Amino acid sequence: MKKTSSIIILIFFALSITAQNLKKPSFEEIISLNTIRNVVLSPNGKHFIFSKEATDWKENRFDSELWISKDGQEPFQLTNSKNSSSSPKWSPDGKWIAFLSNKGSGNQIYAIRVIGGEAIQITNSKKGIYNFEWSPNGKKLAYIQSEDNSKSTKKIKDKFGSFKVEDKEFNQNQLWITNFNPKLLMDKPLPSTLKDSVYKSNLEAKLLIGDKAFSITNFKWSPNGKKIAFTHQPDPLINSAFKADISIYDIDSKVHKVLVKNESYDGLIDWSPDSKSILYSSSLKDFTENYYRNEKFFRTDIDGTNTKQLAKDFDEILSDFQWNEKGIFGLAWLKTKRALIKVNPNTGNYEIVPVKHSKIWSYSFSKDNKKVMYTGRDNNHLSEIYKTDFTFKNPVQVTNSSEQIDNWAVAKSEVISWKSKDGEVIEGVLNKPMDYDSKKKYPLLVIIHGGPTGVSIPGPTASYVYPMVQWVNKGALILRPNYRGSAGYGERFRSLNVKNLGVGDAWDVMSGIKHLDKKGMIDTDKLGVMGWSQGGYISAFLSTNTKDFKAISVGAGISNWTTYYVNTDIHPFTRQYLKATPWSNKEIYEKTSPMTNITKAVTPTLIQHGEYDGRVPIANANELYQGLRDNGVPTKYIIYKGFGHAITKPKEQLAATWHNWQWFLKYIWNEEVELPKE
């Protein structure tokens, strides 16, 4: 026994020394971490392209550029503009890469040769472009852009001045097509603009589908190039998606016909490899539960026959689909794992593909489907790119993003579970210091994810505007609960906070704290809680319904469901979760609103909100702030100017991080710190 104890002490001592020698990263260093995303394999499987996001502090933006690896060589940067480049897509012959970039006139399509050279601008749209596709023969590019009503709008403004009719002013999204002539581009030096009349006349775009009756949201060429399937809705307003349908456009006849038209949402996903069928998702007749129910997936032939539901028994939401000769592939959350799912298009059966890494973010097949690349990671590293074959066995790592955090003191992660007040099993991510001592009791900070159908996952550097790594290195534990309603735990679990928002969520948070207390891990006199969006709402609910915390931070949170309902851009969300409007059931709105018990609030509360937040409008922050002030609760209210629902620039993320650091330092550790001037 004595020998074993000595060994344990020596191991602990060694770990402590190691942890002490590791670098403790700053806020800026965490925000500056490069992130790898969206790998796309060339048709022949020899090259791949991906996006890498970096932080440009001087320009105060997150810059996403394209990187390429050719013939297995070390990746190098392909684009380098003052604005980000995104959505890379290989030409069918693999000789060109088209992508989107905004160099001052909205997103335009650019193309660059794989062999090298400068990128050339292919489009000159006045309204900006999104969701473009190569034609299967590589001779055309189709894309979606908003219609141009500027002339008629100007005439009205000149006569009547400025006014807006709510839900009536919009520009329909249309489908355009432009030629792509590689010979023309190869024969002459590539121009940097479309000023050259020869290029302009050859590449001038034409309207393909511009029906005033609907707005196009996405589309796909059939593999044989004869048809285009597309999703459309009555107008581009966000809530009109509930009325989306799917049509097929015939290239030769130039006629489109509706193929899928259910009462609620229908959305195109992909074509079958033989061009005879499409894959789509649908809410069928559901207008009241589709915010938290599983989507249903179908395949149907393009003549409207042979419709079959797929993955009927799969109890989660699938996304990021690809349909090839090997089957239909998609990604889904399975608790805290992001898994690759394969669906048989004939039987509808599914299987979980055994991939080595627990979190898969993107994947791409070669044209013959024999080679695959994917982005993914485990619990302790940053995302990397891996290459493998169609079996997904023995992946080979081809990037080294995790080198950025070598020799850093970061957070250790583990997934824990506990029972909530009603007996429901709740999972969460517990982050510990690298020199964690099981004999000590630590301050506990709870970080609550948004959604509610978000999910917290293990990782070494999770942050946003919450300095998790720095708190862990200061000697705190972090609990990130996957409260009821979170993604990855099935439809029943996502439905548990219907008519129970805030209330059940609070059960899940408080029971998690109680679980850690019973294990002797935490100092219950040093508890803090925070979150953004839905996480901000739950934090606000806890601020007025508990007295257990020493400090709270409410980020873009809902304070009053009536205030939220009449101001948000997604009114159906509230009606679906609360099963009422404020006028039909005032009691449920009061039961679930933080403001109902504002007179009981005592906990010092920081409020953070974007000035132009349309999802959770700033009226919610104003109401909570005034209510706390009127009741003598210490509070601080910070508005981030020019931002919507998220803080999307590095300097303001740094500011918001500092604001949270200051707040919890003051009330958890009794330390005062000023914002650094340099």
Residue 82 lies in a domain: no
Whole-number pLDDT of residue 161: 85
Q: Name the nearest CA neighbour of 79 among 88, 71, 70.
A: 88
Q: Are 528 and 480 in contact (CB under 8 A)?
A: no
pLDDT at position 203 is: 59
Residue 96 lies in a domain: no
Neighbours of 353 (CB within 10 A): 16
The pLDDT of residue 187 is: 55
Name the pTM for this structure.
Answer: 0.92
Give the chain's length: 678
For strands 206-209 and 215-221, give the pairing: unpaired
Q: What is the pLDDT of residue 69?
A: 94
| Angstrom distance (rounded) from CA 270 to CA 328 | 9
Q: Which residues, at least 6 apart from 347, have a Cβ–Cβ distance to it below 8 Å?
A: none
Residue 527 falls within a domain, yes or no?
yes
543 is a domain residue: yes
Neighbours of 88 (CB within 10 A): 22
User: What pLDDT is stored for residue 19 in this prediction?
Assistant: 61
Distance from chain centroid for Cα 418 = 27
Distances (CA, A) of 593 to 110, 451, 574: 49, 17, 12
What is the H or E stretch that residue 63 is in?
strand 61-70
22 is a domain residue: no
Q: Given this model, what pLDDT does residue 2 score?
A: 44
| Gap between the Cα atoms of 174 and 146, Å rounded | 6
Residue 72: the pLDDT is 86
Q: What are phi and psi of 512, to 5 degrees?
A: -65, -40
CA pair distance 612, 478, nearest whole angstrom: 30
Pairing of strands 605-610, 140-146: unpaired
Whole-number pLDDT of residue 181: 83
Q: Is residue 27 part of a domain?
A: no
Predicted pLDDT at 673: 93
Q: Cis before residue 452, ω within 30 degrees of 0? A: yes
Q: How far is CA 523 from the centre of its chain?
A: 34
pLDDT score of 13: 45
Q: Domain containing 443 — which CATH number?
A: 3.40.50.1820
Question: What is the rounded CA–CA span in Å between residue 65 and residue 637?
Answer: 35
Query: What is the structure's pLDDT at 502?
Result: 95
Domain contains 628: yes
Query: Measured in whole angstroms, how far is the alpha carbon of residue 598 from the centre of its chain?
Result: 32
Comparing C-alpha atoms, which of 264, 284, 263, 281 is closest to residue 319?
281
Mean pLDDT by runs of 10 across the 678 residues of the chain is: 45 51 94 95 96 95 94 90 88 94 84 86 84 95 89 82 84 92 62 50 78 94 97 94 96 95 96 98 93 95 96 95 96 97 96 94 96 94 94 93 94 96 97 94 97 94 92 97 97 96 97 97 97 97 97 97 95 95 97 97 98 96 98 98 96 97 98 88
pLDDT at position 678 is 76
Does 588 map to a domain?
yes
Helix (H) or strand (E) holding 389: strand 384-389
Structural domain range at position 445:
408-668
pLDDT at 141: 95
Please give the tally of structural domains in the chain: 1
